[in-house]
Amino acid sequence: MLYAIIAQDTPNSLENRLSNRPAHLERLQLLQQEGRLILAGPHPAIDSEDPGQDGFSGSLIVAEFESLDAAQAWANDDPFVKTGVYEKVTVKPFKKVLP
């Protein structure tokens, strides 16, 4: 089943986010190689593709997992969680309708 992982960044976490981004992306690339990643990306803190020093307010990941518990465990093990980039992470079942 698909699950949405909705994360909210800790205020002023841009430097921490950038330094931990390679490890974060490595895990996402593994999901992609396994054919389980539907989409992933950050929420810019301002209305811009490149928010610069304004940074990001969070992230959205939609991926396939065996269960809600498996999705939550995967999210909890993310480098952005472990290093405090994310202040809050919500994991919910997701039903893709379109496209």
**Does residue 59 lie within any of the structural domains?**
yes
**Does residue 16 lie within any of the structural domains?**
yes
Domain hosting 81: range is 2-94
**Does residue 36 lie within any of the structural domains?**
yes
Instruction: Give the 3-state secondary structure of residue 47.
Output: coil
**Does residue 68 lie within any of the structural domains?**
yes
- Average pLDDT for the chain: 98
**Does residue 77 lie within any of the structural domains?**
yes
Instruction: Give the 3-state secondary structure of residue 32.
Output: helix
Determine if the pTM surpasses 0.85: yes
What are the Cα distances from residue 80, in Å, to 17, 27, 33, 74?
7, 11, 20, 12
**Does residue 64 lie within any of the structural domains?**
yes
Q: What's the confidence (pLDDT) of residue 45?
A: 97
**Does residue 99 lie within any of the structural domains?**
no
- Residue 53 sits in a domain whose CATH number is 3.30.70.1060
Q: Say how many domains are in the chain.
A: 1
Helix (DSSP H) and strand (DSSP E) numbers for the chain: 3, 4
In DSSP terms, which residues pair with 41 in a beta bridge?
60
